[in-house]
Amino acid sequence: MMDLSIEYLGLQLRSPLVASAGPLQKDIGNIRQMEEAGLAAIVLHSLFEEQIELEALHLDRALSAGTESFFESLSYFPDLSQYNFGPDAYLEHIRKAKEAVGIPIIASLNGITPGGWVEYARAMEQAGADAIELNIYDFPTSTEDTSIEVERRYEGLVIQLRDNIRIPIAVKLSPYFTSLPNFAQRLDRAGIAGLVLFNRYYQTDFDIEELEVFPNLHLSERSEILLRLHWTGVLYGRVTCSLAVTGGVHSHIEAIKSVMAGASAVMMTSCLLQRGISYARQIGDEMARWLEEHEYVSVGQMRGNMGYRLVRNKSAFERANYMKVLSSYALR
Point out which residues pair with 18 in neighbouring strands. 41, 267
Residue 273 belongs to some domain of the structure: yes
Residue 69 belongs to some domain of the structure: yes
174-194 in b/e form (b: 16+ CB < 10 A) is beebeebeebbbbbbebebbb
Tell me which DSSP letter residue 294 carries: T
pTM of the entire structure? 0.87
Residue 96 belongs to some domain of the structure: yes
Distance CA 285, CA 281 (A): 6
Look at residue 73 in the predicted model and tell me its pLDDT. Answer: 41
Residue 40, Cβ density class (10 Å: 0-12 exposed, 13-18 middle, ≥19 buried): buried
CATH number of domain containing 81: 3.20.20.70
Look at residue 153 in the predicted model and tell me its pLDDT. Answer: 87
226: amino acid identity, one letter: L
Residue 72 belongs to some domain of the structure: yes
Residue 33 belongs to some domain of the structure: yes
Residue 91 belongs to some domain of the structure: yes
Distances (CA, A) of 269 to 1, 75, 153: 27, 29, 28
- Within 8 A by CB and 6+ apart from 189, the residues are none
Counting as low any pLDDT under 50, the low residues of the chain are 58-59, 62-63, 65-78, 80-82
292: amino acid identity, one letter: E
Beta strand pairing call for 6-8 and 11-13: antiparallel
Look at residue 75 in the predicted model and tell me its pLDDT. Answer: 46
Distances (CA, A) of 292 to 17, 57, 244, 287: 17, 56, 23, 9
**Domain that includes residue 179, residue range:** 6-331
CA-nearest of 151, 156, 51, 198 to 111 is: 51
Residue 1 belongs to some domain of the structure: no
The number of domains in the chain is 1
- Within 8 A by CB and 6+ apart from 322, the residues are none
Residue 143, φ and ψ in degrees, nearest 5: -70, -15
Look at residue 214 in the predicted model and tell me its pLDDT. Answer: 82
Look at residue 37 in the predicted model and tell me its pLDDT. Answer: 98
